[in-house]
Structure 1
Amino acid sequence: MDSSSPPPSPSPAPSGSRGASNATQRWSILRRALLARSSSARAQEGISSDHQIKDGTNNISRKASRGFNLIECHSLPISQLAKSFGNSLNGNENDFGQKDVYVCYKLPCRDSSKLDLVYRKEDSLELNDIEASNKYNIDTTGLVCCWPSEEVLAYYCINHSDMFRSKKVLELGSGYGLAGLVIAASTNADEVVISDGNPQVAGYIQKNISINTETFGETKVKSMILHWDKEQASEILNTFDIIVASDCTFFKQFHEGLAGTVKSLLKHSATSQAIFLSPKRGDSLDKFLGIIKENGLRCELIENYDPTVWNLHKKYVAGEDRTWPNYDKEHCYPLLVRISYFSEF
């Protein structure tokens, strides 16, 4: 995801627990990686320091939950990708490495469409990945996994496919791009642009687009490196009918850039809208909604937007379903935010 994706632990843990210890260690590693280090400091630290940090990351569980499991999927070795696609990869199988895993999604659509995505394996995050985040002012969470809110967004888009018909759609902070790819595969959108601020993540998005080209029909699909804190290219200003994003409101320091990006890229139309799915995460979501309003946009917050997701949420909260033991509604349940221009636009 982009620079406002959540830190790598979607569920809080009680004080003194292993979860809290992991979180402390995680941020300690991140801090050390982001500190600017001179060439002399690097020489003094040598390989042993980097190895120590890498060992620390390998001991951290970076995804504390299973998610809502709304879309059936299974993982296969990356070597299976070439076997499954034969000559259709045109030699691009060499672009995939030992850190990658092939995940096949079966979409709950009438035509039983499927998507094949390439992810990084869990526990494959390295120090150079974190250092790259400092260089580009982005984070590494897009390399970690498909986060629960992204799956919920994809599921929501499948169930509301008509709204995308003949539309130009943008996904912000997409990570591996599941929601954007689902829109391209299961709706009749005219164009889908899947974006992230991390160049490494954008590379994976493009690979996943290439793998699934035959699934998109007439829909045009492309990837884009898009930073929220930079002025956007003139050719994309106010051109998107629908903007979607998931779990992109965690870091408050990026709220202004994210809100400004939505305002600058959303089409000036009474029917254009942005759809965000984000947990409350303390006061972070409320703060973002305030900045959205300051930018002259209106927003609607919806708690119960899908009966299947809502029923799962209630079972997790009540303890009736214990498959998500650390479930906490403030940090795990994504609320739906609908953003649009005021009526004069």
Structure 2
Amino acid sequence: MAPEETAEAASLLRNFERRFLAARSLRSFPWQILEEKLRDSSGSELLLNILQKTVKHPLCVNRPPSVKYAQGFLSELIKKHEAVHEEPLDQLYEALAEVLTAKEHPQCYRSYLLPSGDSVTLSESTAIISHGTTGLVTWNAALYLAEWAIENPLAFAHRTVLELGSGAGLTGLVICKMCCPRAYVFSDCHSRVLEQLRGNILLNGLSLEPGATAAAQHPGHNTRDSESPRLMVAQLDWDIVTAPQLAAFQPDIVIAADVLYCPETILSLVGVLHRLSACQKDQRAPDAYIAFTVRNPETCQLFTTELGRAGIPWEKVPQHDQKLFSCEERSEMAILKLML
């Protein structure tokens, strides 16, 4: 195989690997490129390599995606093979048979590969809305903010980070593994989300401070391990949390992703940001970065209007170069930097 063909095959394998591990939409996979490759004599070998990088990947064997997702993926893979080859590939049918006999669970796993060679694995709900909340799944803006953080690690290095609306925990886990924060406070208001957050932190080999699940506690200085951030999971209701409670965290930087989904939430968010503006640390209020998917321009306009009313200046952060997590196509995303 020519060097350029080898490089193309490796790129295709990485594409399938990243998308499958993260359980991205099946229509987002490069199926057309795969079909072209399968017409080569080495097509069967390529399919077996894809199988090893997806369904048979060690991360998936230990922490599998939903059964329905794996079944759909293998069915599509078999369809592509049958379209160009007469001889069946036994390994594909054996893998599908294993999936068809597996039991579906309400929780599944998504894994995201990091540039360091490490990964972040999340336990998520198989339903978009579960237990009355959307916080049990990872949304695109969380991926987008995590990519930006990897490209801008100095924004978080040796600083205390407070995340509002952490959801499943993707952004925070990436920052903790890649950006060397001193302390990280995951927060949400829904008890089921907080339970899942704690589980995902432990799932990724990180440790929580003993008893660090109160409404507001001082993260303090990390004396346990200078290489590991001090982690907390805090229950924060934006409508009732007070400025002194927020100040107790002593955040250097505040982040949030995909929290601009209705007018009521936007008003609550701006309220808590306004209270955070009073959290002076060394005579300097924390920086804030809010990432969101532009679903409705009116919603985004309401957010910036309310920021103006609260006297919070903002600027749009330039798009970053990192494209690590295969966000769904056609999704326009943005990050605003707020000067609290």
Q: Decide: shared fold, TM above 0.5.
A: yes
Cross-structure match for 1:252? 263
Does structure 1 retain, via aligned residues, the 8 Å contact 2:251–2:286? yes
**Cα distance, 1:117 vs. partner?**
1.8
Q: Deviations over 1:132-154 (max 9, x none)?
A: xxxxxxxx1112x2111111111
Q: Secondary structure at the match of 1:234?
A: helix
Bigger mean CA offset, 240-249 vs 230-239? 230-239
The CA distance in 2 between the partners of 1:181 and 1:79, in whole Å, is 17
Cα deviation, residue 190, structure 1: 0.8
1:118 paired with 2:123, answer yes
Of the two structures, which has the highest relative contact order with CA contacts closer than 8 Å and spacing of 6 or more? 1
Cα distance 1:161–1:225, how it changes in 2: closer, same or farther (>3 A)?
same
Structure 1 residue 306 corresponds to structure 2 residue 305: no
The structure 2 residue matched to 1:297, chosen from 296, 305, 312, is: 312
**Equivalent of 1:284 in 278, 299, 309:** 299
TM-score (norm 2): 0.59
**Displacement, 1:265?**
2.9
What's the counterpart of residue 195 of structure 1?
Answer: 187
For 1:41, the equivalent position in structure 2 comes to none
Describe how 1:111-260 pairs up with structure 2 within 5 A.
111-122=116-127, 129-130=131-132, 140-143=133-136, 145-214=137-206, 217-232=227-242, 234-237=244-247, 239-260=250-271
The answer to whether the Cα contact below 8 Å between 1:164 and 1:189 also exists between their aligned partners in 2 is yes
Instruction: Determine the C-alpha separation between the residues in 2 that align with 1:155 and 1:165.
Output: 15
Residue pair 2:147, 2:322 contacting (<8 A) in 1 also:
no
Deviation at 1:288, TM superposition (A): 0.8
Which TM-score applies when normalising by structure 1? 0.58
Q: Deviations over 1:272-296 (max 9, x none)?
A: 2110111332211111111112112
Deviation at 1:260, TM superposition (A): 1.6
User: Judging changes above 3 Å, is the alpha-carbon distance between structure 1 residues 68 and 272 closer, same or farther for their aligned structure 2 residues?
Assistant: farther
Q: Tell me how far apart the structure 2 counterparts of residues 67 and 338 of structure 1 sit (CA, whole Å).
A: 33
How big is the alpha-carbon RMSD for the aligned residues of Structure 1 and Structure 2? Answer: 3.5
Partner of 1:318: none
Deviation at 1:258, TM superposition (A): 0.4
How far, CA to CA, are the matches of 1:67 and 1:160 in structure 2?
Answer: 31
Rate the CA distance shift 1:273–1:233 in 2: closer, same or farther, 3 A: closer
Change (3 A) 1:105 1:64: closer
2:60 alignment partner in structure 1: 76
Moved over 3 A (4+): 63-69, 72-81, 213-217
Segments of structure 2 that go 5 or more residues without pairing to the other structure are 1-22, 30-52, 66-103, 208-224
Give aligned-pair identity as a percent: 22
SS in 2 for 1:142: coil
Contact 1:168 1:189 in 2 (8 A): yes
Amino acid at match of 2:112: Y
Deviation of 1:157 after TM superposition, in Å, equals: 0.8
Query: Between Structure 1 and Structure 2, how many residues are aligned?
Result: 230
- 1:50 corresponding residue in structure 2: none
Provide, for residues 56-95 of structure 1, a one-character-per-residue CA deviation record: whole Å limited to 9, x for no partner. xxxxxxx9967999xx9987367779xxxxxxxxxxxxxx
Please give the per-residue CA displacement for 1:30-64, whole angstroms capped at 9, x wherever unaligned: xxxxxxxxxxxxxxxxxxxxxxxxxxxxxxxxx99
Q: How far 1:114 sits from its partner (Å)?
A: 1.8
Contact 1:166–1:189 (Cα < 8 Å) also in 2: yes
